[in-house]
Chain A
């Protein structure tokens, strides 16, 4: 990848500290930011991440749900083969890697705007672990027949098959009710709110203008970084990879990702402060669910 003087300058970790809040004149205050050079998604730790389900907890939760799904199916006379969901990115993981566009140079050179196979949900129905239930098992686990009509089944003790079948019932047992912990939903909502604030921020817009100028020097007229990827949506993969590499090189030269990450993080922290009560309540629900998860897993041993 070609490097310029600007690129070399941002290769050195720099910090831009702005104290206090900036007023943009429209009554909108912009929080102070601390900018560092970002060249890898592994450097991104979103402030809201501490309120999201962790990868380890998510794996444990899926294991407990699977136990409860199979227990439920057994009550309806079915030995279930339903697989445990595995390797699913958490709410935070899935919203970190591409939050500001492509960032990992090695992946971009090979895959362009596509996700690498390790993160793309590669999931052929003929692959190992694919779930191929009998008609009866599918009805018990899903609660409906192949046409989508609810099935009316009763266990030996007369209990009706719950709505959504044993698949959803297993989830409800782990949740402790009809609704799960709200931490990931709240995190997702606030990540969206922070994104809206970031797009409107003067510092984010200033570095976007620098990125646009860099792209213009290569003959492209893009206002937003995502315009580059969208412009090649219908093109062949070689064209997409070439655009992704140029897009990233301009992002690195301008430290686009570093600035957007700093701005985004500042707004996330502001949102955390504003929603402290909701986040605390959601985390209480989350911890209660995880206690239930561990009791289920211990009981299964």
Chain B
């Protein structure tokens, strides 16, 4: 697990080693891909239903992508959220150092631009 202050060097490991599905249910809430062109391994989050219109609650979260046996720390370069969910990405585990200001709707196939390969935790609402 990477627990780093912003001043620490980031342990970059942009090479996921397998597809990962997390969460309970069948409704796809978000998807990360290894590469900006959408190729490579995926990380998918599933829930029991669409996200609600409010962002005052968190519908799903993952505090440390490196804790999963897929090599997924700092590996996401492309993200989409689905079914009314919005996203908050963090550079470090446990939602430390958010990469965007507030909730973002990655419903447009947005590549992660300046935060390429720098996501270690995330929330969905």
Contact = CB atoms under 8 A, between A and B. Distances in A.
A233 B40 contact: no
Interface in B29-47: 31, 33-42, 44, 47
A190 to B, nearest CB: 9
A188 B25 contact: no
B110 A114 contact: yes
Interface stretch (B1-9, B76-84, B89-97): B76-84
B111 interface: yes
A242 to B, nearest CB: 14
Contacts of B42: 94-95, 188
A35 interface: no
A168 B25 contact: yes
Nearest to A102: B37
A277 interface: no
Contacts of B110: 114
Nearest to A144: B57
B113 A234 contact: yes
A69 B37 contact: no
Interface residues of B, number: 53
B116 to A, nearest CB: 4
Contacts of A229: 35-37, 111
B82 A88 contact: yes
Nearest to B59: A142
Nearest to B125: A125
Given A146-B57, A234-B116, A85 B105 contact: no
A97 B33 CA distance: 13
Dominant secondary structure of chain B at its interface with chain A:
loop
Interface string B8-21: 00000000011101
Contact of A101 (B39, B54, B58, B85): B39
Contacts of B40: 195, 226
Nearest to A190: B19
Contact of B52 (A99, A126, A133, A145): A133
Contacts of A157: none
A62 interface: yes
A171 B48 contact: yes
B17 to A, nearest CB: 8
Interface in A15-65: 61-62, 65
Interface in A92-147: 94-95, 97-102, 111, 113-117, 119-127, 130-133, 138, 141-142, 145-147
B111 A98 contact: no
Contacts of B18: 189, 192-193, 196
B49 A69 contact: yes
A120 B108 contact: yes
Given A168-B25, A234-B116, A126 B37 contact: no
Contacts of B114: 233-234
26 contacts: A62-B26, A69-B48, A83-B50, A85-B26, A85-B49, A85-B50, A113-B78, A113-B109, A115-B38, A124-B84, A125-B86, A125-B105, A130-B84, A142-B48, A145-B57, A167-B25, A168-B48, A170-B48, A188-B19, A189-B19, A226-B36, A226-B40, A229-B37, A230-B37, A233-B114, A244-B37
Given A125-B53, A180-B26, A230-B116, 4 more contacts: A89-B28, A117-B108, A171-B25, A195-B40
